[in-house]
Structure 1
Amino acid sequence: MNTSSITSREALPRFSSSTNPAESADERYARRLTARLSAGTNDLPHDVAERLRVARTQAVAHRRRPTRQAATLGTSGGAALLGLGQVWWTRLGAVIPLVALVAGLMAISIVQDDDRTSELADVDSALLADDLPPTAYADPGFAQFLKSDATTH
């Protein structure tokens, strides 16, 4: 075997579809990628090809296999704790922005309600403090008086 080239069989163990029908799409993609990367190694100098071979071997040795994270049961101070590792932090990271959004919307609603109440209170106090009685504003003749007064000035 030529040491300056590496084949996809060296990078990843090859299983035919008849021996491993459940081969994942990731495995198939990795095999195609390795074959494409290996295609141009014949043109490279020996030292570069050797470094690539070593790097690929190390990458395959360190690649992560998908594993399910099992729940662990531990005790702390007599209480049983159920730890799920990263799942808990991921869910908390998804919930915190939602809580912040709801709190912000509630704060905006409260401020707007207070402003509207303050505006209505100002109008009511001005109406009651005026020299004219409130019933005068409801009189249809008063509206006519205001229109005629505005045209004369």
Structure 2
Amino acid sequence: MKPNQTMTDDAVDQAGRALAQSLKAEADQLPPEIQARLEGARAQALAAARAAREASAVQADASGQAVLSGGPGGRKRFGAAWLPALVLVLGLVALAQGQWFQQVLGISEVDTELLKDQLPPNAYGDPGFNEYLDEDAQKTDKEARPEDDQKDEGA
């Protein structure tokens, strides 16, 4: 057979059968210890091939068309596919909880400052108090910058 020539499935099967017959004829002449070791190795190879076949996601049906199998390996892959999405959702929930917690801490700090202040908390809701704060802020700004007053007087 030429190296570039491909074998059909029937030719591969025939070659495999011929090889198996010659090996079987020679196996009868082997000592019993070697036969037992070969039988154990054969059982392991068949188990490994069976596991690989079950783990395969794509199998061919009788007509030769590809069919997805939902074997035990399929469930593992399905779970592994959702794992990053689950981690993302959990991360977003953790961020939202963290932000909520920071807001609660900020509000509690404001409440603490209001309660520690000399003024009663009701004073902050009075519209006249807001006007008083605005006037007081303007006075504080003028006191903080006396050089502006001196420039105005000198002009």
User: Scaled by the length of structure 1, what TM-score is found?
Assistant: 0.48
Q: Which has the larger radius of gyration?
A: 2
> Which structure's relative contact order is higher, taking Cα pairs within 8 Å and 6+ residues apart?
1
Q: When you count helix as a share of all residues, which structure comes out higher?
A: 2
User: Scaled by the length of structure 2, what TM-score is found?
Assistant: 0.48
